Amino acid sequence: MKPSRRVSARLGAIAPSATLAVDSKAKALKAAGRPVIGFGAGEPDFPTPDFIVEVAAAAAKDPRNHRYTPATGLPELKKAIAAKTLRDSGYEIDPANVIVTNGGKQAVFQAFASIVDPGDEVLLPAPYWTTYPEAITLAGGTPVEVFAGADQGYLVTVEQLEAARTENTKALLFCSPSNPTGAVYTEEQTKAIGEWALEHGIWVVTDEIYEHLVYDDAVFTPILRVVPELADQTIVVNGVAKTYAMTGWRVGWMVSPADVTKAASNFQSHLTSNVSNVAQRAAIAALEGGLEAVHEMRAAFDRRRKTMVEMLRAIDGVVCPTPTGAFYAYPSVEGLIGRTIGGAEITSSADLATVILEQAEVAVVPGEAFGPSGFLRLSYALGDEDLVEGVTRIQKLLAQ
């Protein structure tokens, strides 16, 4: 067998997750005793609220949860997802159109696997979450990046989408609040994009996983609330990970029209079957337990967000739009490219992230993980003291 044929071309083409790569490099340095501060992780630093963990502990002892259950999820959880959608998004869905997945990530993969064929193009607003292009490519599609920089608050316009549209455009990925930029589309912008997609018969995959993490006067707008007619060509992706500090529990879901739900259910029945029943019971408790815990976390994130943005803006060469959603700041560092920092010539944001890790012992994710070079992503989901210490180290390094 030729060495080049051992791994399939399909999987061989998948890039490693750059966010995980930064995280593992930082962890290796930490394990070697270096005082690394990590801004790389995309998860709340809080533990899962007790009332959720207690339900899970009881569920582990209940033999009902020791067996296979329906591949698409426990009926009680699907009902809770429908009730939560009505509460948070203001429209009704049929629990039969819900599939419970192993995290929002599986929902993203299944969404594209369900609607994309080879030759199809998917419009991908950039900077984008690093998993989307891989999911699109693996489904045989071609991601078409539509870039919005710091000057436009990382928000693409309908004009930009229209300019990128071809007869092969099958779908649009829409993520608001956004990972990695923290940008949030207004109701007006969301409606305009939804109406444009409706007019051109373009599927929308809307990732709403950060719906509850909005700040200042930003408001999360569910695209199906403002353009309900789009329901027949929309797949909603969501999950409990970010809202309830449940990243490790692996419960997400997709909501889609009946034909897509059927196709994705068949796929999941062969791929993973049901999500762990203990985790599903925990998710029911989370969704039925109200939003008090997330409001507390949001207050902490908001405080840290303000500190981080102020400190980043104080650095010469850094431009940081105010993120109003999720828990990331996404400064442009284009002003630092071409400089020599800590003895190293900086030719890209990847270079800069390396120098920051090696010399300031702070882990940040370079823009290359999310599209064009020239940016850094810093998560502010970490303790206040570490946050200040980490950004202070970056300030000192870049002031040299």
Ligand X SMILES: Cc1ncc(COP(=O)(O)O)c(C=O)c1O
- Residues in contact with ligand X by CB under 6 A are 42, 103-105, 129, 175, 179, 207, 209, 239, 241, 247, 252
User: What Cα–Cα distance (Å) separates residue 71 from each residue in 229, 269, 286?
Assistant: 29, 5, 21
Shortest gap between Cβ of 214 and ligand X (angstroms)? 14
CB of 9 to ligand X, least distance (A): 26
Exposed e or buried b per residue across 359-386, where buried means at least 16 C-beta atoms within 10 angstroms of its C-beta: bbbbbbbbbbbbbebbbbbbbbbbeeeb
The C-alpha atoms of residue 104 and residue 120 are separated, in whole angstroms, by: 23
Token readout for 186 is 């207004």
Shortest Å distance, C-beta 376 to ligand X = 16
CB of 175 to ligand X, least distance (A): 5
* Dihedral (CA of 125, 154, 196, 101) sign: positive
Identity of the residue, 128 or 203, whose beta carbon is nearer to ligand X in the bound complex:
128
Q: Whole-number minimum distance, CB 344 to ligand X, in Å?
A: 30
Shortest reach from residue 128's CB to ligand X, in Å: 9
Q: Which is nearer to ligand X, 240 or 360 (CB)?
A: 240
Residue with smaller CB distance to ligand X, 37 or 173: 173
Integer Cα distance of 44 and 283 in angstroms: 16
The alpha carbons of the chain give a radius of gyration, in whole angstroms, of: 21
Which of 175, 311 has the CB closer to ligand X? 175
**Closest distance of CB 166 from ligand X, Å:** 26
CB of 136 to ligand X, least distance (A): 14
Q: Which of 146, 150, 172, 175 is nearest to 159 (CA)?
A: 146
Query: What is the rounded distance in angstroms from the CA atom of residue 236 to the CA atom of residue 214?
Result: 19
CA distances from 183 to 163, 220, 289, 317, 362 (A): 22, 11, 28, 21, 24
CB atoms within 10 A of CB 36: 20
| 24 versus 247: smaller Cβ distance to ligand X | 247
Nearer to ligand X, 134 or 207 (CB): 207
Residue located via tokens 């582990």: 60
Name every residue whose Cβ is closer than 8 Å to that of residue 213 and which is 6 or more positions away in sequence: 177, 242, 243, 294, 298, 301, 325, 326, 327
In this structure, are residues 229 and 201 in contact, taking their beta carbons and an 8 Å threshold? no
Q: What is the DSSP letter of 281?
A: H
Q: Which value, to the nearest 10 degrees, does the dihedral of the CA atoms of residues 183, 188, 192, 197 take?
A: 60
Return d(Cα 57, Cα 229) in angstroms, integer. Answer: 42
Nearer to ligand X, 7 or 14 (CB): 14
Which residue's CB is nearer to ligand X, number 129 or number 196? 129
The residue (of 53 and 388) whose beta carbon lies closer to ligand X is: 53
Query: Shortest gap between Cβ of 247 and ligand X (angstroms)?
Result: 5
Residue 57 CB partners (closer than 8 Å, separation 6+): none
Q: Which residue is nearest to ligand X (CB)?
A: 103
